[in-house]
Structure 1
Amino acid sequence: MTTPLFITEEQVKSLFTMPIALDAVEEAFKARAKGDAFNEPRRRLPTSSGAYNVMFATWRGHQIAGLKSYPGGSGGINFHVMLYDTSNNSLVAVIEANRMGQVRTGAASGVATKYMAREDAQTVGIIGSGYQAETQLTAIAHVRDIKTAKVYSRLEENRTRYATKMSDVLGIDVTAVSSGEEAADSDIVATITNSQQPVLLGEWLKPGAHINAAGNNSWLKREIDTRAIAMSDIVATDDVEQAKFECGELMRAAEVGRFSWDMAVPIHDIVGGKSSGRDDDEQITLFESQGLALEDIAACERIVELAREKGVGTPLK
């Protein structure tokens, strides 16, 4: 058996790039569509300061299994993934997973954009300006020929900082704007906030727009309004069963009769060719992302491979 590794946050940052993440997540979605990979929805238990979260998945063809766990609450959030080799049931690695999660969340939206956005999409609107917002735009720019982007968040200094940084990183024109409506006037719109009230309204959307709603994994949160959901011709989720108790905006829309769960399409079925992500250039499409353990283990498998190639990581004895 190979000695397991402990891989730190800084090491993950040096190893795990967006192209690698996009490839890993897309491959994992295709495997799930074929029935070769399996995902269990997130489980939460109350703690003294918030909740303890556990999510796990397996991938038979790659002979891996793993879980991500993290306590959340007033003390902040620290993510760790334990990855196993199921050919001999040995521990492969323990990985600090804050950065990994940011990149793979962006990658999931990137893969959805590849299969659901118009081929000629060139403009992006980002609502939110944190680290997750950076990986959202980075992923989108890898799958479409993006010319310009706009960003809105509540604090002017944050959106200005984001626009300056992402212009430099991606080499495109990223502009800070003063409203969500201005940002939404785009071919592709990504929301990545922790808002409990809609930050994206259906009345702002252009015909043919694609939406990535990536900040919501709680019934308390709601980034887009029910009109935007009702206007969407195709609604994809990373996991329909998980969305039924984590996706606040779809839950709310279903409660008021503006959405039915039988309309929800698993993103792996779209990526795997079982369902269409878009039928014409006028359709509005929506991807609701809550985050999957399958994405985590697919990402961490690549991280471990790279760590061993480069001699990175601390052996665990």
Structure 2
Amino acid sequence: MSTHPDSPVFVSGAVARQVFTWSEAIESLRASYRLPEQAGATPPRTVATVGKAWLRTLPAFPPAGRYFGAKLMAAGVQGVSAGIEYVIVLFDRETSRIAAFLDANAITAFRTAATSALALDGLAPATPARLAVLGSGLEASHHARAFAAVRPLTEVVVYSPTPERREAFAQALERDLGVPARAAANAEAAVDGADIVLAAARSQGEKPILFGAWLKPRATVVSIGSTIPQQREIDASVVERSDLIVCDSLEEVLTETGDMIAAKAAGLAFRDKAFSLNDLVSGACDERVRSADIRMFKSVGGGLQDIVVAELIVRKALEAGLATPLPIQFESKR
């Protein structure tokens, strides 16, 4: 099949999982974030709401590549209990035509973890590391695997509230990665002595699950669980201890996440130590990385990540003949 078909194609979640690799996704994101940010290319996400129903849109025009587009996700009048579906629509920048639709459920988790791994690669010392994981869901699972693609892991210690889930998580990681993994009885025990700390589980009641006093010197924190004002994950003491805070979307992280709102309310100043992921990947904050003791990456996710990873998956699906041609044509307005 042509890598640039005349009619749109569909890529299923099963195909996305089949062709995806961590190393390729991380390098695709690195190439994109290395380029200068362009005004208007990645506008803030928008959310339309009526009662329990909502529609979220994340558009992006990556600085390189063949495609641009948007991810859409929605919940109807029954709310999230009815399930949420995700779709990415890609446009061909050369022809302006709609090129592909992708089931973006799996892609969303892939792009989040791959982006975190890219940030980790720029923040953490390039040495073997012990990883602490707070959380045992899909995001935590993907992140551990993505981190293993950029750092040799000596041990993984996981905590989540349900003993059966954290034990199963540790067993699966040890089986799949060949790395010693075990469950901890509480979050502090999991974090004790860790070189890398992943916070990937908002707490019940939106209370912090990670505290600054638990972190060893030279630790790197990755926090992904607080993405809107109502959510909490890390205590303000983690923000206070962090000498460098890298954000995938600087303004959204600093002004629209519950953790940073709480840190500001606690009287903490953090803007002078906050940088964008573009700054990190381009080398603009290399000196700050070298001098920082505690480094943190905080993520809300973004359309740029969706489109970059979607382009990689579409290209690989087309090359493998796994994309489904759609018998449709759109009218062009001229």
Normalising by structure 1, report the TM-score.
Answer: 0.95
Mapped to 1, the partners of 2:219 and 2:233 lie a distance apart of 16
- The answer on 1:278 being equivalent to 2:289 is yes
Alignment-derived partner of residue 195 in structure 2: 187
Mapped to 1, the partners of 2:246 and 2:155 lie a distance apart of 25
- The answer on 1:132 being equivalent to 2:139 is yes
- The answer on 1:39 being equivalent to 2:39 is no
Give per-residue Cα distances to partners, 1:153-200, cap 9 Å, x unaligned. 000011011001111111101111111111212000001113311110
Indicate the RMSD between aligned Cα atoms, in angstroms.
1.7
For 1:28, what is the secondary structure of its paired residue? helix
For 1:279, what is the secondary structure of its paired residue? helix
1:43/1:9 CA distance change after superposition, 3 Å? same
- The answer on 1:294 being equivalent to 2:312 is no
Structure 2 counterpart of 1:138, one-letter code? R
Mapped to 1, the partners of 2:221 and 2:103 lie a distance apart of 30
Kept after mapping to 2: 8 A contact 1:38/1:58: yes
Alignment-derived partner of residue 332 in structure 2: none
Normalising by structure 2, report the TM-score.
Answer: 0.90
Gaps of 5+ in 2: 329-334
Gaps of 5+ in 1: none
Match of 1:146 among 147, 153, 165: 153
Kept after mapping to 1: 8 A contact 2:128/2:154: no
How much has 1:77 moved relative to structure 2? 2.1
Moved more, 144-153 or 16-25: 16-25
Match of 2:237 among 227, 231, 238: 227
Alignment-derived partner of residue 57 in structure 1: 60
Moved more, 50-59 or 72-81: 72-81
Aligned pairs, how many? Answer: 315
Match of 2:216 among 187, 202, 206: 206
- The answer on 1:101 being equivalent to 2:108 is yes
1:46/1:229 CA distance change after superposition, 3 Å? same
Kept after mapping to 2: 8 A contact 1:49/1:74: no
Identity of aligned residues (%): 29
Structure 2 counterpart of 1:45, one-letter code? A
Moved more, 228-237 or 115-124: 115-124
- The answer on 1:116 being equivalent to 2:115 is no
For 2:44, what is the secondary structure of its paired residue? strand
Alignment-derived partner of residue 96 in structure 2: 89
**Which structure is larger by alpha-carbon Rg, 1 or 2?**
2
How much has 1:52 moved relative to structure 2? 1.6
Alignment-derived partner of residue 267 in structure 1: 277
Match of 1:30 among 34, 37, 50: 34
Alignment-derived partner of residue 6 in structure 1: 10
